[in-house]
Structure 1
Amino acid sequence: MSNSRRNFLKKASLAGAAAIAAPQLVSASAKNDNFIPDDGTGKTFLFQGDSITDGGRSYDKDWNHVYGQGYAYLITARINFDYPGRDYQFFNRGISGNTINDLAARWQKDTLDIKPDVLSILVGINDVHKVIMQGDKSTAEDFGKAYNQLLTQTTGALPNVKLILLEPFILPVGMVNKNPELWAAEVQKRQVVVRTLALKFNAIFVPLQDVFNKALQKAKAEHWIWDGVHPMPAGHELIALEWMKSVKKLY
């Protein structure tokens, strides 16, 4: 047996002995955890959007992958861990490549039929991608009209739903770095749209561009976003932390 393993086992044994000798210490520790008892509260959370939300999720009831491996997964894991007694249900319906019009085409089945209490939406970057990379003629005004119609439809069908609108974001790396000024201009127009719609529909707005900008003080862009639009694991954690900071009062 190696010295490191022997030392680990020794420490573990001492810790166990301490717990037996002083059970009040263990009890005191348990009282200071973050768990909230069951209060009969139930909520359904739905994450909607494009590939950033999709996160490589499975499209069936494979519980290893049903939430993907991005910010939606991180949020689901943390809330379910902190509030194990609450009847919280989480759904991820993000689909890679989706624009605002793609969301509208599947909105009834993938959103309204689920009847979420909390609806979180991150969309817009593919609308910009189509304009810059594919020559699409859609404008930020078109994006705003389609998004407004979607939210109007949602609040009409689900009058008590709480909306969470996430700000689309970029960093100057990968494909974005090939034309950063154009990307920034187009994304900023849609950021204004999302912020304006959040005010109109009394939604919680989750600012993300400034969060990623500030993250550049800690590490280079590639640490947070690998191609300019898709987050690295640390980037997904940034989104999850900002989401929970903004939305905490709902759970």
Structure 2
Amino acid sequence: MKEYFKHGTKVLFYGDSITDASRDRENPLHMGYGYANKIADIYTALYPNSGVQFYNRGIGGNRLSDLLDRYHEDVCPVKPDFVSVLVGINDTWRRYDRGLIVTEADFEKQYRDLLGRIRLDFLQSPIMVIEPFLLPTDPEKTVYWEDLTPKIEIVKSLAKEMADFYLPSGQLFDEAMKDGYSPFQLSEDGVHPTNTGHAYLAVKWLQMVGVL
């Protein structure tokens, strides 16, 4: 266990509804009720004098294109010292509920653009990429895998090339189920974690940077 962040570090969580987790968007310091909030709470409890500031800029329903569109509004003003990104499931989901197809080429271009902007604007800021995931609790979403699988491979490849940390959440949730968790304990709809699922993701995130 170690105090990974320097005093006063600004940590930004960027993504879709999984990160958003019902945060109060009128309050720029509200962390929501998901993994981002749990990470902030655990870290602050362990190191109450660290002065680390945590920011949540997740918005439900967002795809990569949305994160790119609001980058200058939501990321740049924070001037983060560490950026955690979780996005991708909606780029698949919108194909099946709205017919909006994001090709693998477009997905890779957009994700590369996002990571490239962060790297260019915040050269010294480490990046954590969290893999998009789908748990087996909704049979109707099984078809999503044909679109999601190649996108996960793209995320994994880009993280290896451009990020500092890669959290293989799908693999980690699989391990949790092998250890005795049921899929429904982790996510009722396969996409959005339960409180237990968020807690599990938060612990794995903190273990990734060596805090736990």
TM range (shorter): over 0.9
Aligned to 1:235: 197
In 2, Cα distance between equivalents of 1:206 and 1:139: 23
SS in 1 for 2:209: helix
| 1:61 aligns to 2:27 (yes or no) | yes
Taking only aligned residues, the RMSD between alpha carbons, in angstroms, comes to: 2.0
Higher relative helix content: 1
Aligned to 1:156: 120
CA contact (8 A) 1:35 1:82 kept: no
In 2, Cα distance between equivalents of 1:61 and 1:50: 17
In 2, Cα distance between equivalents of 1:152 and 1:119: 12
Aligned to 1:102: 66
Q: 1:189 aligns with which of 127, 140, 150?
A: 150
Aligned to 2:210: 248
Shift, 1:166, TM fit = 0.1
Moved >6 Å (runs of 4+)? none
Match runs of 1:172-183 below 5 Å: 172-174=136-138, 177-180=139-142, 182-183=143-144
Aligned to 1:225: 187
Higher gyration radius (CA): 1
Aligned to 2:15: 49
| 1:211 aligns to 2:172 (yes or no) | yes
State TM-score, norm by structure 1: 0.78
List gaps (5 residues or longer) in structure 2: none
Aligned to 2:161: 200
Between 1 and 2, higher relative CO (CA 8 Å, sep ≥ 6) is seen in: 2
Shift, 1:172, TM fit = 1.5
Shift, 1:203, TM fit = 2.1
Shift, 1:80, TM fit = 0.8
Q: What is the total number of aligned residue pairs between the two structures?
A: 210
Cα offsets for 1:22-73 (capped at 9, x unmatched): xxxxxxxxxxxx897xx9722100000000000100013386xx11000001
In 1, Cα distance between equivalents of 2:185 and 2:39: 20
More divergent stretch after superposition (85-94 vs 134-143) = 134-143
Aligned to 2:93: 129
Identity of aligned residues (%): 32
List gaps (5 residues or longer) in structure 1: 1-33
Cα distance change, pair 144–35 in 1 and its aligned pair in 2 (3 A):
closer
| 1:166 aligns to 2:130 (yes or no) | yes
